[in-house]
Structure 1
Amino acid sequence: MSRHSSAQSSSRGAQQYQLMSSESPADQAKSMSQNNKDQLINSLRTHKVNTITELRRIEKIFAYLNSEEVTEPMTTAWAHYVNSNNLLNELRNLTKTIPFSSECLDEAKALVVADPASVRSWNYCWLVLVKMEKENLVLKYARALASKRSTWGARQPTADDARKFINACIAEWTQALRQLLKHWDEPPSTTGS
């Protein structure tokens, strides 16, 4: 059964619905009260939830509710997560050696917005990550970064230096991208872990 904390919120005094549960997302959705659903919707609308892990946890529950009232807040929360640089920050936390390219992310966002098929998903973040992968944007922006003078400082890189740099970018950025995409690869949980 889902747990509710009795701790009072400092700003509103409302009980907080906790998503930590031994139940599957389907069971959590079935046992969720309207008050708990309203609290989750409010947390999405006020952007209190701002990591991919937290948003995915709520999304899994809301997917089982199959309710129009959760679609708009979930869609808006994903758009805010991507457009407020939270996605870029998470990508950069995973790419410490060569920070993930904001230009790569910006192009993926523009491609998603321009794609009429994207209106079928409430998950802008997933669409952007998949677009980066399918459109080979990591390679494009790794090459672009290697061609910038500022990347190399005062020296002129050799062709071998540039190739090694591009490969390092591709490896690190692709690993980060795939790590975030794994949030959607996991099979439905029966234990809620």
Structure 2
Amino acid sequence: MSSSRSSRSGGSNNSGKKTRAAQQSVRQLIESLETHRVNALTELCRIERVAAACDTEEDTRAFQGPMTAAWDYYVTTNQMLSELRGLTTEFPFCGDIVTDAQIRVRNDPDSNRSWNLAWLCLVKIIDDNLIPLYAASEAARLEMWDGREPEQSEVDQLAACFEYEWNMAVQNMLRHWHGTPTWY
């Protein structure tokens, strides 16, 4: 009988240890978001998945503010642009696209559907066809042609190259989410 009691109390003690360990892990992840120790897409997505899988409503709510702020920081500090440019080595991603997408998201009343500014911006880039717009504009700039006036076919060809590489980068980043990142 004493061994039976001992195993029961040991089980509940282990359960308590797991709960404390889980709470400590949640606190550490939240602290890493608040101090911006984590500011890369893959790591933010990993923490986002942990937050979405929380067992308690209290933990879920604890993640909401810091996760929202971390995604905002990721976009506004140009880390998102840096990562997009890392994916577009031949034709560097145009920073004006990210800026335009941010403005559009912040002015969109439906943007409250997610806490994730990066995801919202990437979706806005696609939904509002910003890549073709900016690819054509960038390709037509005289700086792209060393000051000479290009033929329209040359501009179209360069714009197509921009579009292809920039679209691939955006799609690559969107693969980090299997669905809309929302708390509900």
TM-score under structure 1 normalisation? 0.78
Within-5 A mapping of 1:1-193:
33-65=22-54, 66=57, 67-185=60-178
Whole-angstrom distance in 1 between the partners of 2:84 and 2:76: 13
Q: Higher helix fraction: Structure 1 or Structure 2?
A: 2
Whole-angstrom distance in 2 between the partners of 1:88 and 1:176: 11
Whole-angstrom distance in 2 between the partners of 1:185 and 1:162: 36
Letter aligned with residue 69 of structure 2: T
Letter aligned with residue 45 of structure 1: E
Q: What is residue 9 of structure 1 aligned with on the other side?
A: none
Higher CA-based Rg:
2
Whole-angstrom distance in 2 between the partners of 1:70 and 1:57: 13
Measured after TM superposition, the shift of residue 133 of structure 1 is: 0.5
Whole-angstrom distance in 1 between the partners of 2:149 and 2:178: 42
Aligned residues: 157
Measured after TM superposition, the shift of residue 31 of structure 1 is: 8.9
Q: Tell me how large the CA RMSD over aligned residues is.
A: 1.5
Identity over aligned residues, as a percent? 39
SS at match of 1:33: helix
SS at match of 2:176: helix
In structure 2, runs of 5+ residues without a counterpart are 1-18, 180-184
Whole-angstrom distance in 2 between the partners of 1:97 and 1:40: 36
In structure 1, runs of 5+ residues without a counterpart are 1-29, 187-193
